[in-house]
Structure 1
Amino acid sequence: MSPARREGRSAEVRNEAGGNATIGVQGVVYGDVRYEVKSEDPPERKFWVAKNCLAGGMPRRAEELIQEVFQVGFARPPSTLANEVAFHWVLAVLGDRSFELLGHEEFGDIERARTLAADGPADDWRRALDVLLELVDCLRLQERTGRDHPERLDACFAGFDGLSESLREEIRRHLDLILTGAIQDHLDARFAEVVRRARTADRREERVWKFFEPEPAEPQPIPVREPGLEVLQQTAAAGGALLGGGALILSFALLALLSVKAAVIVGVVLVAGGGLLAFCLPSHFPKRYSAFAPRNPGPKDPDFAARVEEIVRRQFARRAPEDALRGAGWHVAMGRFRARLAEELVDLYSRPGTEPSTIEWLADWHAKKIARRWRSGELRDTRRVVKWLGVVPGAGVTAFTVLSMLWKIYQSEPRITQVAVGGFLGGALLLALGRADVHLWSRITYTRNRSEAETRTREEREAYERRVALLDDRPDDADMVRWLDYDKIYLRRLAMNQHGLANRDVVAHAVLTEAAPQARRARFSNGPPRFSAYRVWIFLFTLDGVREINVRLDFPTGIAQDQQRIEFRYDVIAAARVTEVGLRFDDGHREIILPRAERPGEGAKERRDAGPSSFILFQEFRLTLTSGEPISITVENLDGAILEDDQNRVPDDSEFTGALRILEAVAADGRDWIARARKRRDHRDHRGHAHASSNGDRP
């Protein structure tokens, strides 16, 4: 079932075109509530959203919400939720963070979670929490002593192996940045096959493309033109009929006085020529004689109309034969079909709230149907050729006969002929203004047109139901994140193998993703965007230097290609810069956030306090080596159209801020970044212990 339908909400579609997207590449925004929370919501609701954020790859947002519910006393003992809250709290604190950059605040939250679950029941959540806490304790002990402690690690691994598969997966995915050395070796050995299977599990290739498809708009019935005229049209048509009919009778009477034979011949020729002309004219003026009445006759949004026309053109172009000659014939033959379909779609769906992308499925369905008919020869209508060829002789014969008749009677009665000519011209003009010809054609074809409209509506409804059924197993946002997490783990292992590195050789690593050029995009409301293709950057930090590999990841298939690799020492880093540009929503007002380089004197605390009311449009990391070669990564790139809804919550930027903190530290401190990070944390821990001792609290 599609994610929007699971929550009982429709998908809201907005146009998003980021820096790597091109015009015409649209994005889907699901109007879902899983990431939506308000200040007045109860703690239960906030905790539910926090778990969704954690599953959706937004641990910083989850951490913030869990801290909120903890501060108001939610899940305190004897609540049965204490263990579950504590587990997710620790998971959120550690998620997408390197151990070297954990500080007093983070370890303080871990201890508060430990205390929260101290008296909780011995359930699965408690056992999973104990494994998490033991992992943290092992890492801290390993850092202080400089060596592994096999007996404690074995006990921790035994507890880990005893957890359910879903809990093991959560721990493995969220703690990828924090695990190193022997712990990482153990988990890699156990999870190598799991990662390989999980990357393509749940029919990934068959389902991922559906995530980027908007909810299809329901087909609208085609309104058939009803035979009938308005009062003014009836008046004009009646006047035109009187004038024209009177002029014709007068002309025939005068001609019959001169020659009965000539009058009979003219009458026969006029009937034949006029009939041929009436048979051919609707083909030459399809808009005037269209069987379908406009539902919205007023002016249309030009941008909407242009985008619909582009969609129709693109769908018909996809069906063109590969052969150049047949392709040229296809484009010529399809001109009228494209124009008519685009006009109908613009008329039927041009209303507020409708995005052109939601009717692309309908344009595609019509294009395929017409292509089938064209290939089978159904569209080779010989009557159409007759209509196109018959209009010239029909119009010519009719005009020549009328002029000959008028010239004949003019020679006898010039004044009366002038009256007849005036009657002909006035009658023709009034008949045209009164749309008498359209009314007569509608009466003749109404039954056939109504039957065709009913058939088309029924077929479109059947196609819509098939489309909805096809998209029913659209992957959830959590599915997309899970696949991407496993891709990162797989690509990190691939990079290590290609560089001949083991876990003990890698002090830390960072994985960044950015949208690949031409990638499709979609996101849940208040959540980060997902892309159909990524550029993935893997940085491996060793004692000797940095190994970097970047690949293009085709997300539906999980295939990585276009690989590029580079190695460099810490001392060749010339400069590093992180640029952030976004908007702030303080007091309900929008304010431009300047790039970090343009905010002098701003410290880490101030940067941290810029959230949660700030929205980062893009964040670019640029690392320059002494050789002048830059490494530039745009780790986020969103379109300002996302911000049109003031109720949209700021998407979490956990993935790239966690990795960028490592990269910034490496760029600033060079080879000494690890020792300095540990020293800074030890200093913060020392101050935290001193503060806790003075207050009688446990940090």
Structure 2
Amino acid sequence: MNVAEDTATVGVQAETVHGDVTVYQIPADPTPEQRFAGGVHRLLGGMADEAREPIKQAVADGYVTGRSCFYLILALLSGRTLQQLSKDDLHLLHDVRGKLTEPPSRWTGAIKVVNRILTALEKEDADADSVDDELRGLDADLREEVQRHLEIFLNGPVQAKIWARVFDTAKEERLANERLERAWKFFHADPAGPRVRRARPVTITAGSWFLTIASTVLAAGSLAYLAALAWQEALLALLLCGAGAWVFAHHAAIWRFRTQRRWATDWAYDPARSRPAPVVDRGFVNKLDQQFRRYFRRYLPTGADRERWLTETAGIRRALRDEVAELYRESRIPADRVIWLIRHLVREVRDRWQEGTLWAYREQLRVPLSVKAPCVLGAAALAAGAGMLAWNAVQVNPFAAVLALILASAGGWFSGFGWIGVAAERKRYRADKEVADRQRADRQRDFERWTAKLTGKPDDQEMAHWLECDRKALMEKAMRHYKLEAKDVITHAFIEAPAFPCKRAGVPDGPWRYSRYTLLVFLLTADGVRQMSAVLDFEKAGFHGQRRYNYRYDQVGAVHVNQADDGYLTFELTLVNGKAITLEISGPDPDADEPEEDERTVTQVTLDTAGLGNTLHVLEGIAAEGKEWIAQERKREERRLPDLAEATAGLLA
């Protein structure tokens, strides 16, 4: 849990950006309707600060409907007090007056209920039952939006009735839509398609072909000349030369192929070998390294010693990392999209270790006696046949025979190595192709299995809704622990932050969502602040490590947010006795050299959803004015409520 008097950071385990999702993105040159739609999506995703401007701009540009006016009101009030509502916001509501001309609808009905809630805040004797009845009369989706975004305003006589229903709804919907079976999928990116290294084509240079063919012609011509000199004894010798050459070349090619392939594999898997990483983005390679280390630690073979396993597979781990880096080196394919392949590769290594076949290639590529013996015998038969030809030819013409023998030997040497090299290269190609075909089939099966498993991934707004229900659940838990009723809570505030270590994921222009959160709820009562914090396991919807603090208003010394040079933001509440309650709210990508603009934007959006703005407003007011802040805040709100209520009522005039 990262709430303490002194913080410590573990880090983000893994992160995912769902790059194919565009729900929060607004076109470069949008129409008012497109701008409004983008703003509404952001509001539903819990990003009220990011939603206000596009919704306000769309309405100001003439997109005035019952729906746009309803969401305009929600955007202006969501997560804010009346003191945070600007004069420009009120002017916009006044400017829309008379422009809403559509007949009564579910949207205008919702606006009317919002106005009733605001009007009830002005009256101590407001008819709470009447307001509650009107709220319950709304469609379920609109009622939920009103309760969610006007949460701060639901106090006074209306408070108790609505909060009880809000808490009950949160209990029901925390696990709705198969959250326990689906939430974990959000933290996994859609997998990139399977790739394998293509078998390198047979590569013989033009110079090698020329030398091989020329030397073959020279050797054949020289042997033919020797046979011509000793034609009466040549048949047997030629048969020995031909048979011996074929047997020798065939088995020598196998010998060479096996030896070279074993050397190449040993070289690739040698953990002590120093080699540069593939020429790709270093951040991409670093993330691959992290994931390979993570899964090699996770997928420990049964009964294996961890250190021995990691040490002996270090070379394999590095070779597999290089392979994945080369296959997916395009910058548009982030590392999180190939984690499925990393898991697949690591499982294969683990299974081969458990089966005792991890180093089996050494035995498989060992050159057996059944290859060595024919190779030696073939060479001997070739030498014997050539010797017989040379001996008989010397009897006829010594000088010409010796010269022909020298030329035949030289040509045979070069042609033999040439043709053996060609045959070994072809065997290498066939072996590589078989490996690639087998890998492609295996990876395709695992890719399809993982893709099917990710079916039904929740969208960002579902994640936001579940998190909102979690906040309500913690608030109810705190009220139940402190034995508080709704009327006892003057106001409340939340902060949420990642609980390290955790996974994080997000969509473009959206906030980071975390697999583990630290949630803080502040309940302001007549006697002081009641604070509860807990770690939320988002995937399992469980709370752990609850902590509670109680302090009087006059004990709040200072409240601020520290931004370190490395990009980390830390919330700190200091009491007058020197005790500090700290919470790390956000930080940069742990693998990035410095935060990028996109990262800064996402961080700001994440702070928006974390509820930091309203919480700071409340706690800073208490730190400055103590308990008197509550009374003063109410007076300030009472002066602004009539203007706001009149402005919302005017929308329906």
Which TM-score bucket, shorter chain as reference?
0.7 to 0.9
TM-score (norm 1): 0.71
Give 1:346's aligned residue.
325
Give 1:254's aligned residue.
none
Q: Is the 2:250–2:420 Cα contact (8 Å) retained in structure 1?
A: no
Amino acid at match of 1:140: E
Instruction: Give the deviation of 1:462 after TM superposition.
Output: 3.4
Q: SS at the partner of 2:152?
A: coil
Correspondence list, 1:419-438, <5 A: none
Give 1:363's aligned residue.
342
Do the aligned partners of residues 333 and 60 (structure 1) sit closer, same or farther apart at CA in structure 2, a change above 3 Å counting? closer
Q: Is the 1:579–1:620 Cα contact (8 Å) retained in structure 2?
A: yes
Distance in 2 between the 1:684 and 1:185 partners? 24
Instruction: Give the deviation of 1:28 after TM superposition.
Output: 2.0
Q: Identify unmatched segments of 5+ residues in structure 2.
A: 1-7, 222-236, 269-276, 384-401
Amino acid at match of 2:573: L
Q: Is the 2:26–2:34 Cα contact (8 Å) retained in structure 1?
A: yes
Amino acid at match of 1:131: V
Instruction: Give the deviation of 1:544 after TM superposition.
Output: 1.4
Amino acid at match of 1:122: P
Task: Confirm whether residue 499 of structure 1 aligns to residue 488 of structure 2.
Answer: no
Amino acid at match of 2:294: R
Give 1:321's aligned residue.
301
Task: Confirm whether residue 478 of structure 1 aligns to residue 461 of structure 2.
Answer: yes
Q: Identify unmatched segments of 5+ residues in structure 1.
A: 1-18, 76-81, 142-146, 247-259, 291-296, 406-415, 583-591, 593-616
Q: Is the 1:209–1:556 Cα contact (8 Å) retained in structure 2?
A: yes
After TM superposition, the structure 1 stretch with the greater mean CA deviation from structure 2, 623-632 or 644-653, is 644-653
CA deviation string 1:455-513 (max 9, x = no partner): 43233233323333322311111011101111111101111111111111111111100
Q: Is the 1:552–1:560 Cα contact (8 Å) retained in structure 2?
A: yes
Which of 108, 111, 115 is residue 133 of structure 1 equivalent to?
Answer: 115
Correspondence list, 1:589-668, <5 A: 619-639=569-589, 641-643=595-597, 651=605, 653-654=607-608, 655-668=611-624
Instruction: Give the deviation of 1:65 after TM superposition.
Output: 1.8
Do the aligned partners of residues 26 and 233 (structure 1) sit closer, same or farther apart at CA in structure 2, a change above 3 Å counting? farther
Task: Confirm whether residue 68 of structure 1 aligns to residue 18 of structure 2.
Answer: no
Q: SS at the partner of 1:633?
A: strand
Distance in 2 between the 1:223 and 1:518 partners? 38
Task: Confirm whether residue 198 of structure 1 aligns to residue 187 of structure 2.
Answer: no
Q: Is the 1:46–1:66 Cα contact (8 Å) retained in structure 2?
A: yes
Task: Confirm whether residue 458 of structure 1 aligns to residue 441 of structure 2.
Answer: yes
Task: Confirm whether residue 122 of structure 1 aligns to residue 101 of structure 2.
Answer: no
Do the aligned partners of residues 41 and 618 (structure 1) sit closer, same or farther apart at CA in structure 2, a change above 3 Å counting? farther
Residue-pair matches, total: 584
Give 1:35's aligned residue.
24
CA deviation string 1:539-570 (max 9, x = no partner): 11112111111111111111111111111111
Give 1:15's aligned residue.
none
Amino acid at match of 1:550: S
Larger radius of gyration between Structure 1 and Structure 2:
2
- Greater RCO, CA 8 A, separation 6+: 2
Distance in 1 between the 2:599 and 2:290 partners? 27
Amino acid at match of 2:301: P
Give 1:153's aligned residue.
128
CA RMSD of aligned residues (A): 4.7
Do the aligned partners of residues 518 and 298 (structure 1) sit closer, same or farther apart at CA in structure 2, a change above 3 Å counting? closer
Do the aligned partners of residues 219 and 507 (structure 1) sit closer, same or farther apart at CA in structure 2, a change above 3 Å counting? same
Correspondence list, 1:505-520, <5 A: 505-520=488-503
Distance in 1 between the 2:311 and 2:220 partners? 41
Give 1:186's aligned residue.
161
Instruction: Give the deviation of 1:157 after TM superposition.
Output: 1.1
Distance in 2 between the 1:360 and 1:38 partners? 31
Q: SS at the partner of 2:107?
A: helix
After TM superposition, the structure 1 stretch with the greater mean CA deviation from structure 2, 298-307 or 164-173, is 298-307
Distance in 2 between the 1:311 and 1:352 partners? 17
Distance in 2 between the 1:200 and 1:665 partners? 36
Q: Is the 2:13–2:502 Cα contact (8 Å) retained in structure 1?
A: no
Give 1:565's aligned residue.
548
Task: Confirm whether residue 554 of structure 1 aligns to residue 537 of structure 2.
Answer: yes
Give 2:143's aligned residue.
168
Q: SS at the partner of 1:564?
A: strand
Do the aligned partners of residues 288 and 156 (structure 1) sit closer, same or farther apart at CA in structure 2, a change above 3 Å counting? same
Distance in 2 between the 1:351 and 1:148 partners? 66
Distance in 1 between the 2:416 and 2:317 partners? 31
Distance in 2 between the 1:451 and 1:39 partners? 49
Give 1:603's aligned residue.
none
Task: Confirm whether residue 224 of structure 1 aligns to residue 199 of structure 2.
Answer: yes
Distance in 1 between the 2:150 and 2:600 partners? 34
Which of 80, 83, 86 is residue 69 of structure 2 equivalent to?
Answer: 86
Instruction: Give the deviation of 1:684 after TM superposition.
Output: 5.9
Amino acid at match of 1:511: F
Instruction: Give the deviation of 1:521 after TM superposition.
Output: 1.3
Do the aligned partners of residues 318 and 638 (structure 1) sit closer, same or farther apart at CA in structure 2, a change above 3 Å counting? closer
CA deviation string 1:635-688 (max 9, x = no partner): 3434454515999896374322122211111111111111222333455679x7
Amino acid at match of 2:138: L
Do the aligned partners of residues 275 and 20 (structure 1) sit closer, same or farther apart at CA in structure 2, a change above 3 Å counting? same
Q: SS at the partner of 1:357?
A: helix
Instruction: Give the deviation of 1:697 after TM superposition.
Output: 13
CA deviation string 1:227-262 (max 9, x = no partner): 23122444576789899999xxxxxxxxxxxxx9xx
Do the aligned partners of residues 103 and 648 (structure 1) sit closer, same or farther apart at CA in structure 2, a change above 3 Å counting? closer
Distance in 1 between the 2:179 and 2:197 partners? 38
Q: Is the 1:511–1:659 Cα contact (8 Å) retained in structure 2?
A: yes
Instruction: Give the deviation of 1:66 after TM superposition.
Output: 2.0
Amino acid at match of 2:26: V
Using the aligned pairs only, state the percent identity: 26
Amino acid at match of 2:300: A
Distance in 2 between the 1:315 and 1:680 partners? 57
After TM superposition, the structure 1 stretch with the greater mean CA deviation from structure 2, 631-640 or 351-360, is 631-640
Do the aligned partners of residues 65 and 84 (structure 1) sit closer, same or farther apart at CA in structure 2, a change above 3 Å counting? same
Q: Is the 2:45–2:464 Cα contact (8 Å) retained in structure 1?
A: yes
Q: SS at the partner of 2:625?
A: helix
Give 2:264's aligned residue.
286
Instruction: Give the deviation of 1:369 after TM superposition.
Output: 4.0
